[in-house]
Amino acid sequence: MACYLQIENISKSYGPKVLFEHIGFNVNEGDKIALIAPNGTGKTSLLRILAGKDSSDSGGKVMFLKDIRIAFLEQDYDWSPGLSIFEQVIAHSGRDTAGFHEEEKAAFRQRLAELLTSFRLPDFSKKMEELSGGEIKRVAISEMLALGADFLIMDEPTNHLDIEAIEFLEGYLRRSRCTLLMVTHDRYFLDRVCNIVMELDQGAVYSYRGDYQNYLEKRQERIASWNAETDKVRNLLRRELEWIHATPCARSGKAKYRIDAFRELSERAGQQRDDRQISLEGIGSASRLGNKIINCRNVNYSWDGHTMLRDFSYNFQRGDKIGIVGRNGIGKSTFLDLLTGAIAPDSGSIDRGTSLVIGYYRQQGMEFDGEMTVMDVVSDTRLLSNFMFPRDMYTTRVSRLSGGERRRLYLLTILMRNPNLLILDEPTNDLDIVTLNILEEYLADYGGSLIVVSHDRHFLDRTVEHLLVFCGDGVVKDFVGKFSEYRAWIKDVEAARKKEQAAAPKPAASRPAKPLADGPRKLSYKEKKELEAIEARMPELEQEKAALETEMSSGGMSYEDLQKSGARIQEIISELDSLETRWLELSE
């Protein structure tokens, strides 16, 4: 097995803060490594050094195997508003494709077209400025994967992706023979893609082969062993200290070796593990909440010609823990703005309880004044310490914090208000795994009501027990259960539908294994005919889509034909989405 990457003696500091020092490790062909560490400890800096975007303070060596192709996905993709998707990728990837032969360039464009289509971006002429944050991330990932690199370096690839995109990327990387080093906080993604967990801990690197649970167990063993060894050293130090005090005259001559050994013992015994984790001690309980939370009646809202919410009615209850799920750009964040009163509905009513205290953690974060210090933002030193902001960071300007540290500080400003309705919009973006674990435990015992928008499947499974599923065209479905149960139910429904379609030309609708609504009712004659028409139309569209995708994968299509086929696939996807939503309604 070839060694693809060899690291020796690299270091990185920012001012007095040492991120890592004189570290080294190897990455072998076929390794799929997840790099994890608390926010602000150097994960992104390390990846940037490996990708040649930054340099080591101590020199050192970053040696890739000769002639392997490397691709790097940064957290922030550099894009130009006026360019189309295809123009953006061709321009941005220019340096990476400069050495390609004409055949390789054609293959790159072909792979790019296939990937963009798979990521539900088949209209390559769409302007970048018209895309959502999740769509821009999908463009960036499509570009990186289309390069056909041997070694992928990825910084938080699942940030801003919806669940369908995450699952596609997950399957792609699992099947790929590439070598991978990535930073991720998504534990399901980590377990399903990676075979090694690499931890950056107190400036050193430790590798564990296996899944995330195995890493946790082995890490605990390592820390226990370290602590046991430290205890032995301290016991020995006490005995040497007694000797030093008891025999001052022995500090010269042949006893000098014991003096030197004593100094070494003192240094080793003084090394303590800083295993601080975020503590939510000091955060008060949710303030008292009355019977009325938020009552929605026949709420409608449209934006820019798109229906975001159609006749939505729901009474949020005290103690509700609800997850909001659906594709990027479907209206989830808009829905939260409606609930909080940031925007008003086109029609219908939203009534809020008089005792309601909302803590709203927005996806875009908080607009901090970069010149403010950490203590300017939060003056309670105990809370700062509990949220892993040590005393030497109190005077640090917010502009110098990492993205994850700013997120952590923002989260603290929300929780310290003791809200009785906590609304979290994509809280897992930029937070490290340790912080997420603590937050999940806090939310499990949280006494108020909780509404979460998230694409992190692990986070949803641990924090919510009821889903509002945004299906598109303003339709919202109610599902009682955890996210994994919902995905399993959807797969069962899809399998039943395909089985029925294969069994007869006009099969009867299957009844869902677990209904989203209150109960079934009989269909009218007109609805039965509509259901039959939908079940006849959907296979036709799926066959047309498959044929177009096969043709696009042939490598013989011109750029213009690729665009036309991509646009048609987008039309098919939109029609299938509408038909599937209506099929689910009628099948219930």
Q: Please tell me whether residues 114 and 13 are part of one structural domain.
A: yes
Band (pLDDT 50/70/90 cuts) for residue 510 is: very low
β-pair partners for 32: 180
Q: Please tell me whether residues 78 and 209 are part of one structural domain.
A: yes
- Output Rg (C-alpha) for the chain, integer angstroms: 28
Band (pLDDT 50/70/90 cuts) for residue 254 is: very low
Exposed/middle/buried for residue 540 (C-beta within 10 Å: 0-12, 13-18, 19+): exposed
- The Cβ-side half-sphere exposure at 517, using a 13 Å CA radius, reads 12
| DSSP code, position 393 | G
Q: Please tell me whether residues 462 and 548 are part of one structural domain.
A: no
Query: Each residue of 139-184: pLDDT tens digit?
Result: 999 999 999 999 999 999 999 899 999 999 999 999 999 999 999 9
Q: Which domain holds residue 454?
A: 294-481
End-to-end CA distance of the chain: 54
Which of 364, 2, 18, 21 minimizes the C-alpha distance to 150? 2
Q: Please tell me whether residues 22 and 97 are part of one structural domain.
A: yes
Helix ranges (DSSP H) in 341-416: 374-377, 381-386, 403-415
- In this prediction, residues 477-492 reach a mean pLDDT of 91
Exposed e or buried b for every residue in 351-360, given b needs 16+ CB within 10 A?
ebbeebbbbb
Which of 529, 539, 550 minimizes the C-alpha distance to 575? 539
| Cβ proximity of 346 and 334 under 8 Å | no
Lowest-confidence range among 218-232, 266-280, 329-343, 489-503? 266-280
Task: Measure the CA–CA gap between 117 and 105, rounded to whole angstroms.
Answer: 18
Q: Please tell me whether residues 436 and 342 are part of one structural domain.
A: yes
- The Cβ-side half-sphere exposure at 248, using a 13 Å CA radius, reads 1
Task: Measure the CA–CA gap between 86 and 178, rounded to whole angstroms.
Answer: 24
Query: Tokens 């395909």 map to which residue?
Result: 498
Residue 57 lies in a domain: yes
Lowest-confidence range among 147-156, 189-198, 564-573? 564-573
Residue 281 lies in a domain: no
Exposed e or buried b for every residue in 106-130, given b needs 16+ CB within 10 A?
eebbbbbbbbbbbbbbbbbebebee
DSSP string, 221-254: HHHHHHHHHHHHHHHHHHHHHHHHHH-GGGGSGG
Exposed/middle/buried for residue 552 (C-beta within 10 Å: 0-12, 13-18, 19+): buried
- In this prediction, residues 432-437 reach a mean pLDDT of 86
Q: Please tell me whether residues 360 and 463 are part of one structural domain.
A: yes
| Cβ proximity of 23 and 6 under 8 Å | no
422 φ/ψ angles, rounded to the nearest 5 degrees? -105, 120
The single-letter code of the amino acid at 24 is: G
Q: Please tell me whether residues 87 and 195 are part of one structural domain.
A: yes
pTM for the complete prediction? 0.78
- The CATH number assigned to the domain holding 441 equals 3.40.50.300
How high is the pLDDT of residue 554? Answer: 65
Q: Is it the case that residue 511 has pLDDT exceeding 50?
A: no
Residue that finishes a domain, picked among 193, 215, 237:
215
How high is the pLDDT of residue 291? Answer: 79
Tell me the CA distances in angstroms from 30 to 12, 96, 173, 320, one per residue in order.
Answer: 27, 22, 11, 45
How many domains are there within the chain?
3
- In this prediction, residues 93-112 reach a mean pLDDT of 89
Band (pLDDT 50/70/90 cuts) for residue 233 is: low
Q: Please tell me whether residues 451 and 496 are part of one structural domain.
A: no
Higher-confidence residue: 302 or 500?
A: 302
Q: Please tell me whether residues 57 and 203 are part of one structural domain.
A: yes
The single-letter code of the amino acid at 380 is: D
How high is the pLDDT of residue 569? Answer: 81
How high is the pLDDT of residue 261? Answer: 61
| Cβ proximity of 339 and 423 under 8 Å | yes
Task: Measure the CA–CA gap between 144 and 444, rounded to whole angstroms.
Answer: 38
Q: Please tell me whether residues 33 and 121 are part of one structural domain.
A: yes
Residue 245 lies in a domain: no
Higher-confidence residue: 500 or 357?
A: 357
- In this prediction, residues 558-579 reach a mean pLDDT of 78
Residue 285 lies in a domain: no
- In this prediction, residues 242-253 reach a mean pLDDT of 57
Sheet with 151-155, edge to edge strand ranges: 70-73, 151-155, 179-183, 32-36, 196-201, 204-209
Structure tokens, 315: 């009474």
How high is the pLDDT of residue 123? Answer: 86
How many residues in total does the chain contain?
Answer: 588
| Cβ proximity of 287 and 430 under 8 Å | no
Residue 54 lies in a domain: yes
Residue 362 lies in a domain: yes
SS3 sequence of 12-69: EEECCEEEEEEEEEEEECCCEEEEECCCCCCHHHHHHHHCCCCCCCCCCEEEECCCCC
Q: Is it the case that residue 565 has pLDDT exceeding 90?
A: no
**Dihedral in degrees, nearest 10, Cα atoms 524, 528, 530, 535:** 160
Residue that finishes a domain, picked among 481, 508, 524:
481
Which of 96, 90, 177, 161 minimizes the C-alpha distance to 562? 90
Query: Tokens 């690839």 map to which residue?
Result: 157
Query: Each residue of 29-70: pLDDT tens digit?
Result: 999 999 998 888 889 999 999 999 999 998 899 999 999 999
Structure tokens, 26: 């190897």
Residue that finishes a domain, picked among 215, 232, 258:
215
Q: Please tell me whether residues 181 and 84 are part of one structural domain.
A: yes
CA 90 to chain centre: 27
| DSSP code, position 120 | T
How high is the pLDDT of residue 437? Answer: 87
β-pair partners for 360: 423
DSSP string, 305-320: TEEEEEEEEEEE-TT-
Query: Each residue of 264-302: pLDDT tens digit?
Result: 656 555 555 555 566 777 676 676 777 789 999 999 999
The percent of residues in the chain predicted with pLDDT above 90, rounded, is 47
Lowest-confidence range among 340-349, 489-498, 533-542? 489-498
Band (pLDDT 50/70/90 cuts) for residue 239 is: low
Residue 238 lies in a domain: no
Q: What is the mean pLDDT of the chain?
A: 85
Which of 277, 263, 448, 434 minimizes the C-alpha distance to 353? 448
How high is the pLDDT of residue 234? Answer: 65
Structure tokens, 574: 């939109």
Task: Measure the CA–CA gap between 364 and 378, rounded to whole angstroms.
Answer: 20
Query: Each residue of 274-283: pLDDT tens digit?
Result: 555 667 776 7
Q: Please tell me whether residues 209 and 99 are part of one structural domain.
A: yes
Rounded to 10 deg, the angle between the 433-444 and 403-415 helix axes is 20
Residue 191 lies in a domain: yes
